[in-house]
Structure 1
Amino acid sequence: MQKIVPNIWFNRNAAEAAAFYTAAFPGSTSTVTARYPDEGLPGFQSEFAGAELTVDVEIDGYRLSLINAGPEFTPNPSVSFMLNFDPLLFRGDADAARARLDELWGSLTQGGTVMMELGDYPYSPRYGWVQDRYGVSWQLMLSDSDGDPRPFLMPSLLFGGAAQNRAREAVELYTSLFERSRVGTMVEYTEQTGPATPGAVMFSDFQLEGQWFTAMDSGVPQEDSFTCGVSLEVRCRDQAEIDRLWDALSAVPEAEQCGWLADRFGLSWQIVPENMGELMRHPGAYARMLEMHKLVIAEL
């Protein structure tokens, strides 16, 4: 089971977005994993009675959870998704990897905004960065097959704004908290590059619970920083794990609600029981959850 699941906030159109992604990514699937209760919702959620609450999309075996809610939050480029077109993932066929990258670029750019044009860069012969029609950011990169291979999809954390030059600190914290964690690549800036100081992280990748992530300090000034638009949901095996991670990560008391927290860098996490769906089927559990900060399994 995938322990850490990125959650993406959508404004009443999570099911529509899920259909878009399953059409864009061959072999992907989507499943409605939770619905709002038919009754007992607070007034601000009354229009969602019986509607989808979360829709999970699985891309190349990697799960993303789409939250169907209101306009309170939107994703931004501080958290993007790196798509690694390594020929090893295409039976060693570099031409097939490149063709698939170009095809997906065509799909994701429809109605979207190109942030970095698709082209040849020093770190990749084929790379582009796009914000799709729903505001979700994707980095598409043709990579080589040398060294330790990486999976097709990896969440990418961009440290800018108030979190500028704190990528290394974050990687060290996260890898200290989760099992099966390690740092893979760590490349530093060698000179001042915009707001990035010498020694800041130009690029890094690391594993948490065996899952790959990337992190970097921004080399250009950023207005965007982390929000609830994209959060990392951790599916915990018991109350002890919830308590441990909550105590280690939560740094913004006013952000604590319904199992959500913000860490010292502003990144949003959801610390939840791994059987959350089962717990939410108990009568009154949804209403009790809305009153909680940290989730207490026994009270759900």
Structure 2
Amino acid sequence: MSVARVSTYLMFEGRAAEALALYGEVFPESDSCLRDGPVYMAEWRLAGHEILLVDSPARHDFTFTPSTSLFIEFSDADAQRAAYDALSEGGQVMMPLDDYGFSQRFGWVADRFGVSWQLNLV
């Protein structure tokens, strides 16, 4: 068997376009495109990693969980702070930006859509 592609898949209920707009603002170096089909889907690339955002036409009894998150490494503290501030607005801070021993500056947030982000300074 040969794997052709692996992507992170984020399923929303009617807010995928709003999430994509936020992520494009937070990470202006990212790239996105919409794919046509019966279900709204967008492909978003950040640092070579592909993330698919889709709006589910069906309601579901689950949402995102922090046990699965996007781990982003920053080389610039100001960029990390800006991302932290934007992603945590209207969301939840699980670990504020701080020195936790394993990292001199790390933060963990869930954005207003429930997507979990671990933000590490390298």
- Please name the residue that 1:16 is paired with: 18
Structure 1 letter corresponding to 2:71: M
Structure 2: how far apart are the matches of 1:128 and 1:66?
A: 23
Contact 1:10 1:71 in 2 (8 A): no
- Please name the residue that 1:71 is paired with: 59
- Please name the residue that 1:6 is paired with: 8
Question: Which of 123, 132, 141 lines up with 2:111 in the alignment?
Answer: 132
Question: Which has the higher Rg, Structure 1 or Structure 2?
Answer: 1
Q: Which has the higher contact order (CA 8 A, sep 6+)?
A: 2
Gaps spanning 5+ residues in structure 2: where?
A: none
The residue correspondences of 1:54-93 to structure 2 (distance < 5 A) are: 54-69=41-56, 70-72=58-60, 73-85=62-74, 87=75
Structure 2 letter corresponding to 1:122: G
Structure 1: how far apart are the matches of 2:42 and 2:81?
A: 27
The residue correspondences of 1:159-174 to structure 2 (distance < 5 A) are: none
CA deviations on 1:162-197 (whole Å, 9 max, x unpaired) are: xxxxxxxxxxxxxxxxxxxxxxxxxxxxxxxxxxxx
Structure 2: how far apart are the matches of 1:71 and 1:126?
A: 38
**CA RMSD after TM alignment:** 1.5
Moved over 6 A (4+): none
Gaps spanning 5+ residues in structure 1: where?
A: 37-51, 88-96, 144-300
Partner SS for 1:111: coil
TM-score (norm 2): 0.88
Structure 2 letter corresponding to 1:12: G
**Structure having the larger proportion of residues in helix:** 1
Structure 1: how far apart are the matches of 2:27 and 2:40?
A: 22
Q: CA deviation at 1:114?
A: 0.3
- Please name the residue that 1:28 is paired with: 30
